[in-house]
Structures are given as structure tokens and as C-alpha cells.
A and B are shown apart, each in its own frame.
Chain A
Amino acid sequence: MAESPTTWGLLFGVCAYVAGKVAEAAFAAVTSGIAARETRRDTAVIQLEKVVLETRDLAVEYWARPGIDPDQKQRSASIVARLKFAMSLCTELFETHDAYLRVEYKWINFHEACTFGDFGSVDRAAQPERASDIEMTAYALIHEVTTSRYLLPQSLWRRRRR
């Protein structure tokens, strides 16, 4: 039985409607995926800034006192663990992107400012002057992270680091 032009028109209309709805749903999924990822990135940056500043405070306090001070063991353990966590956040954010090497470089500078020299030694004297290096490298890392965060690609397809 041959369909009438009206039937074809109706069929076409239904197909167009369904296709439109599918496209709308796909677009919504893509945009909500992007929004969710951007929120995750923002949260990670805020968390990273917080842990870097906490580490800075601990490290400044650690170096302001001599190694024999009773709480130094706990302070040094907290510094090392926070530095490690900060690097985990850096890799989570930037591992597959061009910014990673710049962020890693700043993290290494901060790590060394906090833990090089006589870090962990019980018989060292207080070295409060190390605070300046710790402050500078902490803020340099935060600046690099916040700058690089906005250079991350927006597309759903992750760009590989060259």
C-alpha cells in the first residue's frame, strides 16, 4: 500500500523531532561534562593553594626552631606528606598538558626550599633566614598553578603533552 505525502511528511517530522532531541541531549551531556570537569579543576586548584600555604607555614616554623625542638619530628613528617600531596594534585591537574613541566619545576623549587640542607637533622641550629626562600617558592608555585589552570584546554579530548 502506497503511503500518502501526508504520511511521509509526518514521518519526516517525527524523525526530525527525535534527531533534534538526541542532539539536544548530546549537547547537554557534553556541556555538563565540561562544566563538571571545570569544577573539579577549580576545586583542585583551591585545595592545592591551601596545602601549599599550610606547608609554607609549617616549613617556616620548622626552620625557625632548632632541630632538637620536641615537635620537629612531627612538623617534618607533615611537611613531607603535604609536599607529596601537593604533587599529586599537580599531576592530577596538569599531567597530560604542556604546563606540567613548568608546574613540576616550581614544585621542585618549593620542595627543596622546604626540605634541603639539614632538614630532618636533630643537631642543626635554627635557620630562620630560610623563610624567604620558602615564601618565594610557595608563591611562585601558586602563581604558576593558577596561571596554568586557565591555559588548560576546554575540549573534551585531552591534549597530550609534547
Chain B
Amino acid sequence: MARTINIAEQYTRFPGGRYPQDGDGNGTDFRIRFLLPVLEQHEQATVILDGAAGYPSSFLDEAFAGLVRNHGYSKDEVLAAFKFVADEPSFRPFVGLIAKYVREAKVPEGRVAVQ
């Protein structure tokens, strides 16, 4: 059964920052606690974007593109593992931004994608 990750309800209404030292609601913490387990267990998840105060690009990049950069998953694996829900129209651009950051993620040299 596919998981559901409601960012505003399960993580924070105020996402921001890339790294743990940037404080609560950072992208690295969200990636490791919520996104990475989905890929590790070969599952799929629906990510609900509604309800947050907004999403800085740096947070989205670190959380989602970080799966490619830091954990070696392929862009296709990441994009296939997550579906996004944005019922409120003003959240819809974030869906496109996430896909863009994953597609543009640079895989570090010498790293092989996780099988």
C-alpha cells in the first residue's frame, strides 16, 4: 500500500533550510526521515504539499534532488516513487519545481545509482 506523507501535518508547516544546522524543518532531515525510507523499501508515496506556509526552492532541492545527489538513486526512480498532491492551486507550481530539481540534480562523479 502506498504511503502518504503530509508535509504540513507530519513534518512542519514551515519548511526551510537545507542542513540540520539550519534548524527545524530542514530539507536534509525531511529527506532522511520521510523520503529515503520510501525508496529503501521500494515503495511509493503520495506527498501532500497543501497546508505549508510555502516551500523555499533550497528546501525542495535538498529534500528531493538530494536523493539523487546524496543517496545515488536515479532520477527516474525518484520521480516514479513519489506522487504529489496540491489541491490548493497556489501549491501546484511546487510540483513542477520538484520534478525540475530532480531532473537537474548532478550525480557526484564515481557514484553509481542504487539498484
Q: Is B37 in the interface zone, CB < 8 Å from A?
A: no
B59's closest neighbor in chain A, by CB? Answer: A120
Query: Using Cβ atoms and an 8 Å threshold, which residues of chain A touch B89?
Result: 91, 95
Are A83 and B54 in touch, CB under 8 angstroms?
A: yes
Is the Cβ of A118 less than 8 Å from the Cβ of B18? yes
A86 nearest CB neighbor, chain B only: B90
**Is the beta-carbon distance between A122 and B16 smaller than 8 angstroms?**
no
Q: How many residues from A make CB contacts under 8 Å with B?
A: 27
Interface pair A120/B56, CB less than 8 Å apart: yes
Q: Whole-angstrom distance from the CB of A85 to the nearest CB of chain B?
A: 8
CB-nearest residue of chain B relative to A82? B54
Q: Which residue of A lies closest to B89 (CB)?
A: A91
- Chain B residues near A117: list those with CB within 8 A: 58
A69 CB, nearest partner CB in chain B, Å = 14
Please name all residues of chain A whose beta carbon is closer than 8 Å to the beta carbon of B18 when the two chains form the complex.
118, 120-121
Q: Is the CB of A121 within 8 A of B58?
A: yes
Contact A80–B22 (Cβ < 8 Å):
no
Q: A84-B90, A88-B90, A122-B21 are in contact. Are A77 and B53 (CB under 8 A)?
A: yes
For chain B, the count of residues having a C-beta within 8 Å of the partner chain is: 23
Query: Per-position contact with B for A82-117: 1 when CB-CB < 8 Å, else 0?
Result: 011001101100010000000010011001100111
Within 8 Å CB of A119, what residues of B? 16, 56-58
Contact with A along B84-102 (1 / 0, CB 8 A): 0000011011001100000
Bound CA span A104–B16, Å:
22
The winner among B21, B53, B56 for most chain A CB atoms within 10 A is B56
Looking at the assembled complex, report how far the CB atom of A83 sits from the nearest CB atom of chain B, in whole angstroms. 6
CA distance in complex: A6, B58 (Å): 83
Q: Does A34 have its Cβ within 8 Å of any Cβ on chain B? A: no
**Residue of A77, A115, A118 most packed against chain B (CB within 10 A):** A115
Residues 28 to 54 of chain B near chain A (Cβ within 8 Å): 53-54
**B61: min CB distance to chain A, Å:** 7
Task: Using CB atoms, name the residue of chain B closest to A119.
Answer: B58
